[in-house]
Structure 1
Amino acid sequence: MINREARLMALLTPLIDAMGYRLWGIEYMAQGKHSLLRVYLDKDGGIDIEDCAQASRQISSLLDVEDPINGEYTLEVSSPGLDRILFNLDQFKEYAGYHAKVRLTRSFEGRRNFSGQIKAVEDNEVVLIIGEEELTLPYELIEKANLVSQM
């Protein structure tokens, strides 16, 4: 996680927790003059549009006061959804047994993209089952990972 996202997580977590939600993750995308801050929330039973609207107002107020982002940006507050991004090792552990797509920052065993079932997290590594094989990926190489809904 880059420093800006870590600072935003530290700033927003107490507010989100106090509202009864769980801060699932944050994405910050610099897009020229106008950037995007996407905040994913979850709770038992799931998040609905009213939850997102209420949280958006509170988050916006806090960000206006603390001003952690230079320049203009758009704030989006969302549920993580079915194809949720996995932001940390605890989330990989929570979704062991689920199918995920994983993109690495650089090639590992000749590939950057993998798709398989999350078997486990061991130390700082994610174990995927791909076909009949197990592959152990160093967590520090994971650029992005999403669950894949199996319908």
Structure 2
Amino acid sequence: MRATNPVEERVIALTEPTAKNLGFRIVRVRVSGNRRKRLQIMAERLSDGQMSVDDCGRLSRALSPVFDLEDPIQGEYDLEISSPGIDRPLMSLEDFQRFLGHEAKLETAAMIDGRRRWKGRIEAVEGDEIVLAAEGGEARLKFAQLSDARLVLTDKLIEEDLRRAREAEAGDAQNPLPARGGGRGRGDAPPSEKSEGRSDIAETMNDGASPHPPTPSPRGEGEKKD
């Protein structure tokens, strides 16, 4: 589910080595749009699952030469680096294991017992099966059967996210990034250098709502959102 077509699979293959070297994990890649496409890359830190605006900027700058060289998408497109958000998509069995006890909404590609949509508490991960405490009783769904899955925004999830964010901030304070002199500031989007290919880059934090397309600035760069 991290990718839905060969283009997205290629983007994942191109970006994962660089992301991993920087300490990030690629959560999901989506390409959307017709005349002008948008490439959205969701990522998070391997260490704690967080993703700050500065992290988005670091990953964006590191991926810039990769996309310039490989050019995975034909024509002009907007690149958006974002966090998964609180009510994040669940893209792997490891994601389900990590969020045991939390509410989730699941959708299957085909009908199972007369339904395709499921909602309930993630009880367990057993092999390739997700055990869900759903309305009407326990449901067991194979991961390969899912077409979509994401967490449900609850008070419990918000509290846990805030706790992880505080822990991450404490860790960042103890291990600050070295200051850089001159050039673009931390979190700034790199400028476009091609008339075709990536021309607008947005570095965003996803709060769980659907992300908005980047808005070109007078310099032709994507708008940076806090």
> What TM-score range do you get, normalising by the shorter chain?
0.7 to 0.9
Answer whether contact 1:60 1:75 (CA < 8 A) is retained. no
- What do you get for the CA RMSD once the two structures are aligned? 1.8
**Equivalent residue number for residue 93 of structure 1:** 97
Which protein, 1 or 2, shows the higher relative CO under an 8 Å CA cutoff with sep ≥ 6? 2
TM-score of the aligned structures, taking structure 2 as reference length: 0.61
**Equivalent residue number for residue 128 of structure 1:** 132
Percentage identity across paired residues of the two chains:
35
CA distance in 1, matches of 2:10, 2:115: 32
Give the alignment of 1:59-78 within 5 angstroms: 59-78=63-82
Q: Does 1:102 align with 2:102?
A: no
Segment of structure 1 superposing worse, 62-71 or 79-88: 62-71
1:93-144 per-residue CA deviation (whole Å, 9 max, x = no partner) reads 2212111111222221111111111122223222111136110112222111
Unaligned runs of at least 5 residues, structure 2: 156-226
**Equivalent residue number for residue 50 of structure 1:** 54
CA distance in 2, matches of 1:120, 1:9: 28
CA distance in 2, matches of 1:86, 1:72: 29
**Equivalent residue number for residue 16 of structure 1:** 19
1:24 corresponds to which letter in structure 2? V
Structure exhibiting the larger radius of gyration computed from Cα positions: 2
* Count of residues paired in the alignment: 150
**Equivalent residue number for residue 25 of structure 1:** 28
SS at match of 1:86: coil
CA distance in 2, matches of 1:68, 1:114: 35
CA distance in 2, matches of 1:62, 1:34: 20
2:59 corresponds to which letter in structure 1? A
1:24-62 per-residue CA deviation (whole Å, 9 max, x = no partner) reads 222222x21222211111122721111112211222321
CA distance in 2, matches of 1:76, 1:61: 15
SS at match of 2:85: coil
Unaligned runs of at least 5 residues, structure 1: none
2:41 corresponds to which letter in structure 1? V
SS at match of 2:60: helix
